[in-house]
Structure 1
Amino acid sequence: MVRMKKTSAAIAAAAASTLLLSACSTADSEGGTSADATDGALTVATAFYPLQFVAEQVGGDHVVVVSMTPAGVEPHDVELSPATVRKLGTADLALYLSEFQPAVDDAISTTGVEALDAAAVVELHAESGHADDEHTDDEHADEDHADEDEHDHGSSDPHFWLDPELLAAYADAVGQAFAAADPDNADTYTANAEALHDSLHEIDEQFATGLAQCERDTIVTGHEAFGYLADRYDLHQEGIAGLDPESEPSPARILEIKDIIAETGATTIFTEDEVSASVAEALASDVGVETSVLSPVETVADGEDYISVMTANLATLEGALGCE
């Protein structure tokens, strides 16, 4: 089980020196804010959707959330516009995950904005070995993928939010950071963080119950985004590609996945909503299985949120794995 690091006091102290700006309480994408300002509200810049969701839920009417990754954009390799960087520089606090989005890391370093790094709150999983395995049998790997290091996410899997309990731990830290930055509304932030924690714990219990008795426990995915979810609920993830959603699997990895599907009786290859599914669909057609979207919740459609998408993910998994 991944445990939360004991950094709450340090997080609160780091956030305490932030300045208050005039802003409003609804999120906008790509560095924008809504029209009417409310005196005394915190401006919080968030790197990508799950952190935006936490900021909105914890901050409520006292916080305006500025998203650095536009809605519908795959966040791994997002590029920030000058306007977004300027908005970041005027924020009271930024929420981000170091080594996940290089452009965001650079902008936070350049602007000097106070920032709460999720990697300082939750202990990230080490990257699995499958990403490296993809290319070991390809004699041209060094040539074909020489630029992959530019998109390296470090040695850790960034997708911690797919374990609801880890996202709940981060929500607690965000509540402390907001309270330190805006003591007048500290009680509200604390209460909101507790309510979000409870909601995420409920989602966790639903997953644990729904996936407790299934015919299969192996999930074959387009890329290895679901390690935290798999570990939390005793599933086994097999990614066609590694952590980088743009990487191409080697022929050896494709053959290995075919063998895994045959051995485990998997009926589904899980694809994603914002990542090309061409390789997964071709493989599924070749071996005679279905494809189904399993969202990594890196972005959501209008009218959806983390809770609704995770609920849909559970239903998808229950159907594909033959759960009772």
Structure 2
Amino acid sequence: MPLRRILAATAAVLLLGATGACGEKASGVTDGRLDVVTAFYPLQFLAERIGGPAVHVTQLTKPGAEPHDVELNPRQVGRISDAGLVVYLAGFQPAVDEAVAQEAKDRAFDAGSAVELLAAGEHEHEPGEEEHAEARGGTDPHVWLDPVRYATIAGRLAERLGQADPAHATAYTERATALRTELTALDAAYAAGLKTCARREIVTSHTAFHYLTDRYGLTEVGITGVSPEAEPSPRRLAEVAERARAAGATTIFFETLVSPKVAETIAREVGARTAVLDPLEGVSEPGADYFSVMRANLTALTAALGCPS
């Protein structure tokens, strides 16, 4: 073969190899940032606040969607497979659990492993609810509604990010410490605001506030259990209405991502009003974040429970 043809062929092979290398993305990295895939909003919030400019964060649950029963498409499973770190809560979203087990078991952080989880609140099980409660042996997944536990998770996440990306470990720790300071202030505001109230029992459409009520000495009566889409039986509706009357409830709470109809039914029955108490499984309002929603929840609680301002 003529020398010039050999040289031309060799140059073509080298050019092809260089082009392919330029088009490849290092596993777990986007634009030099650690790829972090989060299961739903409270975990996205932590990853963004702690990761800062060193991470590229995506969320598996679409904004405005109810996260309990999220289903993953192939592209989302691919993101989990390619991620530098996956942040999830085992037992809360079965589809995410399965994808993590298959694609990212050694690159995953289970937020529930960082703290002691509470048992699911007492309520009447409606069809379809048991699967959520039993996924973690009957524990309640809504741990982010307790600022103290949430701060502990933040610290552990910073450690896990540092293991995945040692070059930025110190920055992750510093941002987690700053976030803990904010969460400590939020906890203090809740403790002060809910310390002395005319009533200490809240009626909610969805048993999602066990961590909050446990932290601040309140009692929650949920119309449904941990699954917000379950339909309560007539017997359960009657039981909740009776308890609401006995407690002198002035407000029946509903949440943002599900229909308020059941709460409105109870409210009409007992002569109460309805108001939003957001479980923060996602945010839908522009500009809203964890802290703004938690402050709005505190305002709603103090008004409903007759707490001094």
Query: Retained in 2: the 8 A contact 1:43–1:91?
Result: yes
Question: Which residue does the alignment assign to 1:117?
Answer: 110
Q: 1:148 to 1:311 in 2, by over 3 A?
A: closer
Please point out which of 57, 81, 85 is paired with 2:77: 85
Question: Which residue does the alignment assign to 2:297?
Answer: 313
Query: Retained in 1: the 8 A contact 2:129–2:226?
Result: no
Shift of 1:128: 2.2
TM-score (norm 1): 0.83
Identical amino acids, percent of aligned pairs:
47
* Root-mean-square deviation over aligned CA pairs: 1.4
Match runs of 1:115-264 below 5 Å? 115-132=108-125, 145=127, 147-152=128-133, 154=135, 155-264=138-247
For 1:180 and 1:123, locate their aligned partners in 2 and report how far apart those are by CA, in whole Å. 23
Please point out which of 49, 56, 60 is paired with 1:64: 56
Match runs of 1:28-107 below 5 Å? 38-39=31-32, 41-107=33-99
Between structure 1 and structure 2, the one with the greater Rg is: 2
Please point out which of 238, 245, 248 is paired with 1:265: 248
Query: Retained in 1: the 8 A contact 2:27–2:82?
Result: no
What do residues 263-290 of structure 1 show as CA deviations (whole Å, max 9, x unaligned)? Answer: 1111000000001111111121122110
Structure 2, unaligned runs of 5 or more:
1-25
Report the residue type matching 1:127 in the other structure: A
Shift of 1:129: 2.5
What do residues 247-276 of structure 1 show as CA deviations (whole Å, max 9, x unaligned)? Answer: 122222211111111111110000000011
Report the residue type matching 2:184 in the other structure: H
For 2:102 and 2:213, locate their aligned partners in 1 and report how far apart those are by CA, in whole Å. 36
For 1:239 and 1:149, locate their aligned partners in 2 and report how far apart those are by CA, in whole Å. 15
Query: Retained in 1: the 8 A contact 2:277–2:300?
Result: yes
For 2:294 and 2:223, locate their aligned partners in 1 and report how far apart those are by CA, in whole Å. 22
TM-score (norm 2): 0.87
For 1:54 and 1:148, locate their aligned partners in 2 and report how far apart those are by CA, in whole Å. 28
Report the residue type matching 1:117 in the other structure: D
For 2:237 and 2:283, locate their aligned partners in 1 and report how far apart those are by CA, in whole Å. 29
Report the residue type matching 2:190 in the other structure: F
Question: Which residue does the alignment assign to 1:22?
Answer: 29
What SS does the aligned partner of 1:45 have? Answer: strand
What do residues 168-219 of structure 1 show as CA deviations (whole Å, max 9, x unaligned)? Answer: 0000001101111111111100000000111111111100011111111000
Question: Which residue does the alignment assign to 1:12?
Answer: none
Structure 1, unaligned runs of 5 or more:
1-18, 24-37, 136-144
Question: Which residue does the alignment assign to 2:307?
Answer: 323
For 1:210 and 1:129, locate their aligned partners in 2 and report how far apart those are by CA, in whole Å. 26
Report the residue type matching 1:275 in the other structure: V
For 2:259 and 2:269, locate their aligned partners in 1 and report how far apart those are by CA, in whole Å. 17
Query: Retained in 2: the 8 A contact 1:131–1:243?
Result: no
What SS does the aligned partner of 1:44 have? Answer: strand
What SS does the aligned partner of 1:308 have? Answer: helix
Q: 1:131 to 1:122 in 2, by over 3 A?
A: farther
For 2:215 and 2:124, locate their aligned partners in 1 and report how far apart those are by CA, in whole Å. 21
Q: 1:174 to 1:92 in 2, by over 3 A?
A: same
Query: Retained in 2: the 8 A contact 1:45–1:94?
Result: yes
Shift of 1:20: 6.1
Q: 1:153 to 1:308 in 2, by over 3 A?
A: farther
Report the residue type matching 1:316 in the other structure: A
Question: Which residue does the alignment assign to 2:10?
Answer: none
Report the residue type matching 1:91 in the other structure: A
Q: 1:236 to 1:102 in 2, by over 3 A?
A: same
